[in-house]
Amino acid sequence: MGDGKTMRARLSPTPLLLALLAAPARPASAQDEAVATDTPGFWDRDALTGDWGGARTRLQDDGLVLTLVYVGEAFDLAQGGVKRDTVGEGRLEATVELDAQAAFDWHGLLFHATAYGIHGHGLSRCCLQNIATVSNIEALPGPRLFTLWAQQSLWDGRVSIRLGQLAADDEFVTSRGAALFVNGTFGWQAITGADLPGGGPAYPLATPGARLQVSATPELSFLGAVFSGDPAGGAGGDAQAQDTSGTTFSFSGGVFTIVEAQYQPVADRAGLWGGGGMAPVFKLGAWFHGGTFNDEHHASDGLTLADPRSSGVPARRRNDWGLYGVADVPLWRDGDRPDAGPSAFLRLAGAPADRNLITFYADGGLTWKGILPGRPEDTAGLAGAFAQIGSAAAGLDQDYRAYGRPFYPVRDHEVLLELSYQAVVAGWATVQPNVQYVIHPGGNVLAPGRTVPVGDGLVLGLRTSVRL
């Protein structure tokens, strides 16, 4: 919807979803027992619509790849929050990539574009008011351009340069273990989403930028990128509402820079993961933002913002920065498959307190692919996230208490737990039930129009993903 208003549509189970849930699981040995054919069966094909009579393959041979993925989900807030509700939302993702080498013999050049069609409304915005968004596809409804870039690889891929409308969460602070989970904080962390203007260059708002990747050795690589500092174009307010189409192409709000070192040892070097097994990955990064930020505690005249005598205008702080680390470690290999078995992930991040709502963040969890007999492609996972409200913001809350509001809650932290199971019901479809529990939504904020904080939230969800 071009006006950016939230659609209050509820999703009922569709015939497609019911068919997927009723579909029998493919036996673990189906691939080994099947007779090789040029055309996979309906349940084994990579896309629901197949090869389009061979057109899809011919386009890929010519360097053009079109990917369509629909994600639909429903969530029920069974406990807590501002109000109880059941909501539905969905997203159609269309990605086009053109390999210039296959198309017109330009070695190493790749063009990419991704756009979304979003409908429904999310649970965090309407009902829970938490920091770690319940769904990683939650956004204001409507069509939206996301990324649009060109990438040139050099020296046999050891160096690549990317220019255009970029998203930092495509490549930075990522974790392969965290990617299983539905909550948005397991992608672009809640600390950067809450502390950066407009949430930073991350879903659903990309910004103009440039990225350089260098592979120093087979095990060590470096990423660095520069982005426009404000996805909303400096208009203020809700960034998604200010840029409803994704075409603002903002060059305002200072410069956001992020760098990351990635180390991935050879998997079978130490014999810990077995020959051909998945290797651990370790990342260390830092970011810097050259814009201006509101002080979380003091007014421009030096008084606390809680003091009725203050100007009421927050003091301004120049620049912002943060550090983070990521670790993905397979615990052991289950059987002969290199990606099967349990794995663990951990991410830590920090930022200064005077100009940021969240100053310390941690998430981590366990995932296990093939945990159930006869379901080798399914993955189960349990993860948690912790976001610490900064001492400046908490100090302001304490001042409100001292200035005549004794029952005003002091924000401290938000904790999230998620249990998720992703079932592969076809080569082109997954079904993923998940349960989330949110402790101290918003860090312990007041419920609108009430004198008590927002209650801890219990969220029950079901997601279906289909590659069309």
Task: Give me the torsion for CA of 438, 439, 441, 442, rounded to 10°.
Answer: -120
Tell me, what's the pLDDT at 422? 98
Do 465 and 47 touch, CB atoms closer than 8 A? Answer: no
Tell me, what's the pLDDT at 274? 45
Higher-confidence residue: 393 or 36? 393
Tell me the longest C-alpha to C-alpha distance in the chain: 81
> CA 430 to CA 467: how far, in whole Å?
9
Highest mean pLDDT out of 2-11, 21-30, 322-331: 322-331
pLDDT digits (tens, 9 = 90+) for 260-308: 999 998 765 544 554 445 789 999 999 999 999 999 999 999 999 999 9
Contacts of 45 (CB under 8 A, 6+ apart): 51, 426, 427, 428
Tell me, what's the pLDDT at 40? 81
pTM score of the predicted model:
0.88
| pLDDT range class, residue 31, cuts 50, 70, 90 | very low
Tell me, what's the pLDDT at 4? 39
Measuring CA to CA, how many Å separate 408 from each of 180, 196, 393, 396, 442? 37, 26, 13, 11, 14
Tell me, what's the pLDDT at 293? 94
Q: Is 24 left (phi over 0), alpha (psi -120 to 50) or beta?
A: beta
Token pair listed for 155:
């020296």
Q: What share of the chain is helix, strand, coil (3-state, %, to 5)?
A: 15, 45, 40
Residue 55 bridge partners (DSSP): none
pLDDT at 438 over 80: yes
| pLDDT range class, residue 5, cuts 50, 70, 90 | very low
Name the 3-class secondary structure at 27.
coil
Tell me, what's the pLDDT at 268? 54
- Mean pLDDT score of the chain: 88
- Rg value, the chain, Cα: 23
pLDDT digits (tens, 9 = 90+) for 345-377: 999 999 999 999 999 999 999 999 999 999 999
- Summarize the confidence of residues 95-110 as an average pLDDT: 94
Higher-confidence residue: 366 or 30? 366
- Percent of the chain surpassing pLDDT 90: 71
pLDDT digits (tens, 9 = 90+) for 59-82: 999 999 999 999 999 999 999 988
Q: What is the fold of 15-26+58-467?
A: Porin (2.40.160)
Quick one: DSSP state of residue 304? B
> CA 188 to CA 162: how far, in whole Å?
20
pLDDT at 148 over 60: yes
pLDDT at 1 over 60: no
> CA 279 to CA 269: how far, in whole Å?
10
Tell me, what's the pLDDT at 351? 97
Higher-confidence residue: 224 or 122? 224
* Residue type present at position 370: G
Tell me, what's the pLDDT at 270? 47
Instruction: Provide φ and ψ at 186, rounded to 5°.
Output: -85, 0
Higher-confidence residue: 29 or 51? 51
- Summarize the confidence of residues 336-342 as an average pLDDT: 82
pLDDT at 19 over 80: no
